[in-house]
Amino acid sequence: MPVLNERAYLEHAIASVLAQDVDAATELVLALGPSTDGTTELARRLAAADDRIRLVDNPAAHIPVGLNAAIRASRYGTIVRVDAHSELSPGYAALALQTLERTGSANVGGVMHAEGRTPFQKAVARLYNSPVGLGGGAYHGSSQEGEAESAYLGVMRREVLDEVGLFDESIRRGEDWELNLRIRQAGHKVWFDPDLSVTYWPRESWLRLARQFRATGAWRGELVRRFGRRNGIRYFAPPALVVVVALAVVIGVLQLTGVLSGVASLIASILVSVPLALYLLLVVGVALAPGGGGVRQRMWTLLVLPTMHISWGLGFLGGVLRGARDTVDASRLGTRNTPLP
């Protein structure tokens, strides 16, 4: 479990891990980044109270670096990746181990079920659980078991990780997708089991959500630079939206200044206004659809859905054009929006 500034969530996440009933020796290795909210002190107190918890340092604060440090420090043949912002459902580990054996897979994952406490977080969670929000990956709500492109978190055979190499430490986001690509290229299976469920708690504020999605989009753009069309077509929808919005602004300026007029102006307006109008109808429809919660949650949905898409799309275009470089997810760093040490 890589950990950075997760004081509000860490104890519940750890409790959900330690409560797993597995017929084998277990341990929980925490990779501690340079937290500033008391997370490290809390982790040390929890480790002192339970000898199953072990601590390793992750001074770089990057997720793949922390994951690799924890894996190298681990002692057993199966690696269960967990997240400090999530909680494992009862029986998760035991069922995942059974699925590994039953399917002969190298990596098994399940459903990422987002939950929220405030109207804002509930709006984000609802969109996480919807294909409209995050593009329809299997782990966002599919009920069909089978081979998959990637796995959320993942329960992995250590021998396969040793064979293909651990997480690529040059990738700050999307490191799981890239690892699963190597696993599949080596001839192993990645498996999705909808009976596996992990509760995920999204970001708690609009600014943090926007920062998270911009960083994630930038690294997906980097992965497109590296691996091209191995990336699914759904990843190109948000940047397409950003391009249409930018074209609408340019066309509007040209029309106001008189540079664009007549039939050409009409055609240009139609080309950008139709997709934008359809997108606006989609956003309003999602906000008003059954299950959208109370008035405040529905109002947040009107803002959250475009924020997710546009932030991700802007990050993606930057990542494709110039690479992700030092882009990090600064959403857990308070008001800081700079690269981590």
Q: Using DSSP bridges, classify how beta strands 86-88 and 190-200 pair: parallel, antiparallel or unpaired.
A: antiparallel
Q: pLDDT at position 135, please? A: 66
SS3 15: helix
Handedness of CA 40, 68, 207, 116 (dihedral sign): negative
Sign of CA dihedral 93, 98, 104, 108: negative
Residue 182 CA: distances (Å) to CA of 52, 161, 222, 230: 31, 10, 16, 12
Mean pLDDT by 10 residues, the chain (341 residues): 93 95 94 95 97 95 94 96 92 96 96 93 94 70 85 95 95 93 97 93 93 95 89 89 96 94 94 96 96 95 97 96 86 47 31
Q: What pLDDT score was predicted for residue 333?
A: 65
Confidence at residue 67, expressed as pLDDT on a 0 to 100 scale: 97
pLDDT attached to residue 338: 33
Return the number of other C-beta atoms located less than 10 Å from residue 68's C-beta: 22
Give the whole-angstrom CA distance, residue 169 versus residue 61.
11
- 237 Cβ neighbours under 8 A, 6+ residues apart: 135, 309
Query: What's the pLDDT at 341?
Result: 31
Q: What is the pLDDT of residue 131?
A: 85
Beta strands in the chain (DSSP E): 2-3, 28-32, 53-57, 78-80, 86-88, 107-114, 146-147, 155-157, 190-200
Reported residue count of the chain is 341
CB 80 within 8 A of CB 1: no
Number of CB atoms found within 10 A of residue 101's CB: 10
